[in-house]
Structure 1
Amino acid sequence: MRIGLLTEGGYPYASGESQAWCDRLVRGLTGHDFEVYALSAEPRRDVPPRPELPRHVRLVHSVPPGDGFPAGRRRAGEPRRGRAPGRRERRRFAECFGDLVAAFATAPPGGEPATPVVHARGAAHGGAPAGYPPAVPGGAPDDVVTSKADRFAGGLYGLAELAREHRGLPALLHSEDAVRLLEAACHGSHALPAASGAQVNDLLAVTAGLARALRPLSLDWYGDRHTPGLGGVDLCHATSGGTAALPGLLAKRFFATPLLVTEYGVRLREHYLARATAPQSAPVRALLAAFQGALAAETYAQAALITPGNTHARRWQERCGADRARLRTVYPGMDAAPFAAVADAAADDPKTLVWVGTIEPAKDLIALLHAFAEIRRAEPEATLRIVGGVGRDPQAPGYLAHCRALAAQLFPDEAADTHSVGESPVSFEEVGSPEVPTLADAYASGAVVVLSSVIEGFPRSLVEAMFCGRATVSTDTGAVCEVIGGTGLVVPPRNPRALAEACTALLGDPDRRARLGAAARARALELFTVEQNVAAFRGIYLELISHAPARPAACGARDARGVPQPFARPAESHVPGRWAATGAATRAAVPAARDAVSATPAAVPAGRTPSWAVPAQERTAALPAPAGGGAEGGGAADVRGARRSVRWGGAGDRTGATGAKERGQW
């Protein structure tokens, strides 16, 4: 089948775990054709050269950041980009964008809590999941009151239809009309409390953010009678929520293409964390967060299946309105081969603690250093190796400098005598240095692996430590408990004393470390390998496509009345190369050969009638009776008769046990 893989800022251009996971998935599912649709996170001039892709990755579409669509990608017959939107387009935009903004920028009247509402799409939501209270009635009391979710969906798909008909949507999203519509929603009587004081600069920032988020509406990825695209794929697989899932929503809307959403890090959660530290005003953060929440809920409502990477992500999705019946946890697959050669026990450094990861404030290395100060009082020979570089957080370089200064203050380099050089028990290293050539070497250098984070999604460093057979001490955050599963020690976050006590207990008990390490390795090899991840998605693809109806957009063959015929073309016609032509020629030659044989007397022995001219009942009755008269009494006569029927008959002549055997050979 053809899979449309929807990515954002990852595969196949950017590096990182998202790129690595998509590459492993694509290379593992060689039985399917993939078309990659990538929203790149960097400007085109900064994007590295595209890596070599497998042969079954047929096509790659990508766009750089911006509010328009790539130049030179205009479909035949569509208006040129230079034509300004007319009065009709502006009126349609005002209606659709007004519904979209009113759906996420307003609150229920009187501050009443949201009541359970059954959406027009058939999904029941209750409570107050992520910005989905019922909409404010906009007309007379007799009007039908739709939920805010339906209003958001109506505005979103209305803008998408406008973009398909007229390529002026990016200009309209930056127009004064968009700012005025947003201003009316923010200054109305039912505006969100945090957005009621929005100023002009705030409104401009929000409209710019909405234009970037709605950029997929204006792309030419969906195809029509002139160009191929997502309309011809069998399944859309979005590797994250948010903007990356928008093309999948439109493909489902326009072509009824099933949508699969995979989130190993919940996009809405990442947006909240990023906005919390962003230099933006409160109205901007509130409005953009409300939009992302409404978009996430719409994505979860339309997805045929949602595959979170862990229970922590699953809880986020349920809170945003995802139906539990369509949630299925699939752990991310990791390559265990690089860690297979690591020894089971650290005999060289039995008192060494190892921390591996990206250095940033969320990792809470400050608490780890204070905990190590207490560990040194109980184990004076203990050492701590911090292996990792700074992350993308702009505060990371300053945080690393602060950690180095604290380590120098807590553990001064004291020399044993006047001739020796003092060494600190704490070292800061990076993978690739002479001391730590590979990541496996980092885990092999210690007896216990420590995780001290206060914010964590799926702890990949813990899984790598488990592959290496190392005992671990972790803080209870994110999916840590789910990953560890009883094979390591877990302590509360921001608690240096509890962290120190757990580490000291493992450093002083080698047998316990060995038992926990062996159990951790067995658990990781069972749950977190690439093989189990690929096998899970192979089954999910087949399951989704088996329940998907025949889609007219993906069916090229039609009868005289225009009704789609999904099985009109034989299966071998889809095989590239000479097989399609050979199969067609063979099918055409069989009737001709049959007619020629029936018309030529010499082709049939004297006194015999061609088998296709005799009814099947008569051919069966003509077979010689078994010599013994029973089921086990068959002799040479019935075998010869069956062979004669196979030799002179067609596909329907092969009856009896011997005929079944011959049918397998023929």
Structure 2
Amino acid sequence: MRIGLLTDGGYPYTTGESRLWCDRLVRGLARHEFDIFALSRSAEQEQQGLLALPPHVRQVRTASPWSAPESRHTGRRRTERGYGRRERREFAECFGRLAASLCTERADGDAFSDGLYGLASLAREHGGLGGELRSETAVRILEAACRAPGVNRAVQAARVPDHLAFASLLERALRPLSLDWYGDDALGAVDLCHAASGGGAALPGLLAKRFCGVPLLVTEYGVQLRTQYLANAQLSVPVRALQAGFQRRLAAEVYARAELITPGNTHTRRWQERCGADRAKLRTVYPGMSADRFHAVGEGAYEGEPHTLVWVGRIEPAKDLIALLHAFAEVRRAEPEARLRLIAAPAEGAEAVTYLAHCRALAAQLFPDEAADAHAVGDNPVSFEEIGGPEAPELADAYAAGSVVVLSSVVEGFPVSLVEAMFCGRATVSTDTGAVVEVIGGTGLVVPPRNPRALADACVALLRDPERRSRLGAAARARALELFTVEQNLAAFRGIYLELMSHNPVHRENADESAAPQPFAHPAEAHVPGRWAAPTSARIPSNSHSSGPSWAGSPIAALLQQRLDAEAEGAGA
């Protein structure tokens, strides 16, 4: 089977989102062929280069929707030709329907889809849309849509700077419509499109389904719509409302057109249902994580310090380390021997560096007589350490350092650090946010977020009860090995691929109308080693689009031909 993997800001680049998951998926399903279609996130990401890819990745196509409009950085956008009067009129009609659908609270999926696919058809037939989307005509159409009767108040308050700002954002979001990815040498040749996230990554999949009839599978391990909402926080209110309208309509269209949607947890699933996803299309597939590197810790080779709490994660305000430090002050009053080790990846970005400095200052204030060295683990009850540093050379060693792992987040998607702690057989104390309760499943203690007292009480309860810690840790490890391994994830997608293709047989353009569809573009025999029997007749047509041996040369074809010959002889007699 030939899979078109669609990504946005991640794989196959060496930096970005979903790199590990996509790489494990591609390498773990080596019986299938993969074509990768990637939207990059920045110039820095492109400069870091691509990962080393396995041989069953047939091609990689990339595009740079972040680049300046006049840039020809990728050379992969369709050549933009000047539009004639008829094309400009058609553009105005399609863009007008699209813009009108974004300005009202009432969902009008037909207007959005008509406008979107109309613009895509224009780009397909007459070249790229960039010039028209950046034109004064587009801005005037957008302005008229914002002033039409019945639009929401936030959009109605938009002024010329807001129209210009949103027009620029919309032009960037719609750049995938102008890519040359929808021909027979690209997405038109795959058997299934698999979008590694919603939003921009799934947009090429919508067009492949529209133009080529390729079925679409969408996987979301984070809430893409929520991420977009947070990213728009710095925009003006009218622009934010318009951008939210576009993202909502796009998400609804993706969910409506996808054959199957695989959320990574119930938290993401609820968002998808709220955006109109059909429950019958939803199937939860947990992210696959490697358990091998945590095997020694999980099997009890490292007991950990009985009075040490461990936190592992990224330094950012959403992790609420402030509440954790206040909670630990309460823990120290109840258990004077308790220690807290905060182990994180190096802080990146001004916000993370500032937040880390604030946390260090708070620790020095809460423990003034003991915080002489912020990096020492000796007499200092709170230590700030980096993964790869002298105190935590490996990630597994970070979890092995203590007997209880703590998560204090106020915002969390799928809690990776909790799953890693479960692989290590550690008892956990977590805040009730995101998919935490679903992941823990009763194998750890869960408290309300932003409640240092409750967090402290739960930590003290486990520090004082080693038998309970042992029971919870063993149960947590068993649950993680059952639900959250790479093998579980690969088995799920292996079955999903086969299921989708069994319901969406491939129709080849060179077959006549009477020809039956083939269930796969590349027959299963293509993966069987050894020589095949030579074709005995030309009456069984070969699959001209397959890169492997044809049906005509397979043992099944030979047996079928013998049966046909025998029947023909019997009829003649």
CA–CA separation in structure 2 for the residues paired with 1:99 and 1:347: 63
Which residue matches 2:553?
Answer: none
Answer yes or no: is 1:264 the counterpart of 2:221. Answer: yes
Which residue matches 1:160?
Answer: 120
Larger mean CA deviation between 253-262 and 84-93 belongs to 84-93
TM-score between both structures, scaled by the size of structure 2 = 0.88
Distance 1:104 1:579, change over 3 A: farther
**Counterpart among 191, 194, 209 of residue 151 in structure 2:** 191
Which residue matches 1:480?
Answer: 436
AA at the equivalent of 1:89: E
Q: CA deviation at 1:437?
A: 0.4
Alignment of 1:521-532 (within 5 A): 521-532=477-488
Which residue matches 2:98?
Answer: 100
AA at the equivalent of 2:281: R
AA at the equivalent of 2:31: G
TM-score between both structures, scaled by the size of structure 1 = 0.76
Distance 1:442 1:422, change over 3 A: closer
Per-residue CA deviations over 1:607-638 (Å, capped at 9, x if unaligned) read xxxx9799779x9xxxxxxxxxxxxxxxxxxx
CA–CA separation in structure 2 for the residues paired with 1:421 and 1:466: 24
SS at structure 2 position matched to 1:340: helix
Answer yes or no: is 1:306 the counterpart of 2:261. Answer: yes
Q: CA deviation at 1:166?
A: 1.4
CA–CA separation in structure 2 for the residues paired with 1:235 and 1:525: 30
Which residue matches 2:547?
Answer: none
Which residue matches 2:307?
Answer: 351
Distance 1:363 1:415, change over 3 A: closer
CA–CA separation in structure 2 for the residues paired with 1:98 and 1:275: 23
SS at structure 2 position matched to 1:250: helix
Which residue matches 2:239?
Answer: 284
CA–CA separation in structure 1 for the residues paired with 2:379 and 2:77: 65
AA at the equivalent of 2:236: S
CA–CA separation in structure 2 for the residues paired with 1:532 and 1:56: 22
Per-residue CA deviations over 1:34-73 (Å, capped at 9, x if unaligned) read 1000001122784322222111111100012335776654
AA at the equivalent of 1:443: Y
Which residue matches 2:48?
Answer: 48
Q: CA deviation at 1:379?
A: 0.5
Distance 1:575 1:182, change over 3 A: same
SS at structure 1 position matched to 2:58: strand
**Counterpart among 208, 213, 218 of residue 251 in structure 1:** 208
Q: CA deviation at 1:345?
A: 7.7
SS at structure 2 position matched to 1:350: strand
Which residue matches 2:181?
Answer: 221
Q: CA deviation at 1:16?
A: 4.9
Per-residue CA deviations over 1:292-340 (Å, capped at 9, x if unaligned) read 0100000000000000000000000000000000000000000000100
Which residue matches 1:457?
Answer: 413
Per-residue CA deviations over 1:121-167 (Å, capped at 9, x if unaligned) read xxxxxxxxxxx2xxxxxxxxxxxxxxx10110000000000000112
Which residue matches 2:466?
Answer: 510
Instruction: Provide the aligned length of Structure 1 versus Structure 2.
Output: 540
- 2:31·2:527 contact (CA, 8 Å) conserved in 1? no
- 1:106·1:185 contact (CA, 8 Å) conserved in 2? no
Q: CA deviation at 1:204?
A: 1.1
Q: CA deviation at 1:212?
A: 1.2
CA–CA separation in structure 1 for the residues paired with 2:537 and 2:440: 59
AA at the equivalent of 1:430: E
- 2:363·2:371 contact (CA, 8 Å) conserved in 1? no
Q: CA deviation at 1:196?
A: 1.4
Which residue matches 2:534?
Answer: 583
Larger mean CA deviation between 99-108 and 59-68 belongs to 59-68
CA–CA separation in structure 2 for the residues paired with 1:27 and 1:266: 25
CA–CA separation in structure 1 for the residues paired with 2:515 and 2:119: 29
CA–CA separation in structure 2 for the residues paired with 1:284 and 1:492: 34
Distance 1:86 1:557, change over 3 A: closer
Which residue matches 1:36?
Answer: 36
- Runs of 5+ unmatched residues, structure 2: 540-564
**Counterpart among 527, 532, 557 of residue 510 in structure 2:** 557
Per-residue CA deviations over 1:99-135 (Å, capped at 9, x if unaligned) read 0010111245xxxxxxxxxxxxxxxxxxxxxxx2xxx
- 1:354·1:448 contact (CA, 8 Å) conserved in 2? yes
CA–CA separation in structure 2 for the residues paired with 1:446 and 1:233: 49
Larger mean CA deviation between 303-312 and 197-206 belongs to 197-206
AA at the equivalent of 1:558: A
Identity %: 65
- 1:572·1:583 contact (CA, 8 Å) conserved in 2? no
SS at structure 1 position matched to 2:270: helix
Distance 1:557 1:352, change over 3 A: same
AA at the equivalent of 2:296: A
Distance 1:563 1:415, change over 3 A: closer
**Counterpart among 86, 89, 92 of residue 88 in structure 1:** 86
Which residue matches 2:6?
Answer: 6
Which residue matches 1:121?
Answer: none
**Cα RMSD after superposing both structures:** 2.9
SS at structure 1 position matched to 2:296: coil
